[in-house]
Structure 1
Amino acid sequence: MLHIRRFRYVGPAEIRDEAVTVAAFAVRSATLLADWLAGLERSDLGEPLTFVVTLDGDLHLAPRRSEHVALAAGRDVLAAGEMMFVRDASGWRVLQVTNQSTGYCPDPDCWPAVRESLDRLGIAHPGDFTDKVVFRRCPSCRERNVVRDGDFTCALCDSELPARWNFTSV
């Protein structure tokens, strides 16, 4: 794997502790992915799916309302976010993909892990996150923040947020 940073779960302990392990779909091939997507409810296909890239570089998917930490069985991940698929003449491809995971708060630099897992499976993708979410932990109140419009100010206590990603990683 090109990307070596591992992301630990940094969300609320009660979500981690109450998260029911979901029947995550471990994507082993583009053919199996097509079968799995075809079996989803229309409502699940109309919105992004939850994903993680495991430490082995495997892509795991589940319906959107699944917790990333449950999808990862509580383990560290190489990437986490949301992914939307669309079917065209050549088959299923990733239409949109983000690093939106408030449980792992991955930095956008986790994209290489996502790209590598999709490339290994032969699944077409946009080449980068279609929407990059910037997460920072407030050094004053320790709250997780999503940085919006380049405003590095804590939403809770108005403290300045660091310019660099500052969550625990391995």
Structure 2
Amino acid sequence: MNLLGPREYRYVGPADIFDQARPDRRGHPITSHDDLSAWLTRQTAQDPEEPFTYVIDLAGTLRLAPQRSEHVACAGREPVLGAGEISFASSRGTWTVTEISNQSTGYCPDPSSWPAVAAALDRAGLDHPPEFTHPIVFRRCSQCRQRNIVKDDNYVCAVCGNSLPTTWNMDSPGTPLP
């Protein structure tokens, strides 16, 4: 972790997806419950209780986009403090975060990104779980350079069978830049 604050995650996914994202278009900023309620009301193509794409930008603001949006597009190609999928439920006119993950294969944020995510949700006044409801562990294989999702603490590359590091390394030297 960065001693000066939360880790910044740069995009580590496919270059063609990065190239399609427009820097002048980002996900909708959510800074209050009213922002969220208004934005969800406009999302007629998606059930508000289904997951949405989110990022936490470098200013610490939650940004939302429809579910099938790429995280790098939601971030306007910029690095992020967190990224994943988020679901909401409404009770008596109040929206609450019901599920949240760090599932973003473009940024591959570590579960340790939770404090930055929680802080953005708190600043927006949104009730949320105490941690990721679906944390995902990402590692890059030092042998074949492929991105991996670690399941059941099995730190083995799914592509070449090499051992994976136990610490986050998605932006390690040799990682191709978009």
TM-score, normalized by length of structure 2?
Answer: 0.89
Give distance in 2, aligned partners of 1:67 and 1:145: 18
Give distance in 2, aligned partners of 1:49 and 1:135: 20
Cα distance, 1:19 vs. partner?
2.8
Pick one of 8, 15, 18 that aligns with 2:17. 15
Matches within 5 A, 1:67-86: 67-86=70-89
Pick one of 6, 17, 35 that aligns with 1:4. 6
Cα distance, 1:167 vs. partner?
1.7
CA contact (8 A) 2:46 2:66 kept: no
Cα distance, 1:36 vs. partner?
1.1
Q: Which residue of 2 aligns with 1:137?
A: 140
Helix, strand or coil at the partner of 1:111: helix
Q: Which residue of 1 aligns with 2:48?
A: 45
Cα distance, 1:96 vs. partner?
0.2
Cα distance, 1:44 vs. partner?
3.9
Q: Which amino acid aligns with 1:99?
A: N
Query: Percent of aligned positions with the same letter in both sequences?
Result: 49
Give distance in 2, aligned partners of 1:53 and 1:147: 23
Q: Which residue of 2 aligns with 1:56?
A: 59
Give distance in 2, aligned partners of 1:54 and 1:127: 20
Q: Which amino acid aligns with 1:30?
A: H
Give distance in 1, aligned partners of 2:122 and 2:148: 31
Q: Which residue of 2 aligns with 1:148?
A: 151
Cα distance, 1:140 vs. partner?
0.2
Q: Which residue of 1 aligns with 2:176?
A: none
* Residue 103 of structure 2 corresponds to residue 100 of structure 1: yes
CA contact (8 A) 1:44 1:64 kept: no
Q: Which residue of 2 aligns with 1:163?
A: 166
TM-score, normalized by length of structure 1?
Answer: 0.93
Tell me whether 43-52 or 15-24 shows the greater mean CA deviation: 15-24
CA contact (8 A) 1:94 1:125 kept: yes
Pick one of 114, 127, 130 that aligns with 1:124. 127
Equivalenced residues, count? 168
| Ranges in structure 2 where 5+ consecutive residues have no aligned partner | 173-178
CA displacement, residues 55-97 of structure 1 (integer Å, 9 cap, x when unaligned): 0000000001100001111110000000001001360010000
Helix, strand or coil at the partner of 1:118: helix
CA contact (8 A) 2:156 2:164 kept: yes
| Ranges in structure 1 where 5+ consecutive residues have no aligned partner | none
Runs of 4+ in 1 over 3 A off after TM superposition: 20-23
Q: Which amino acid aligns with 2:14?
A: P
Pick one of 27, 30, 39 that aligns with 2:30. 27
Task: Rate the CA distance shift 1:33–1:46 in 2: closer, same or farther, 3 A.
Answer: closer
Q: Which amino acid aligns with 1:126?
A: P
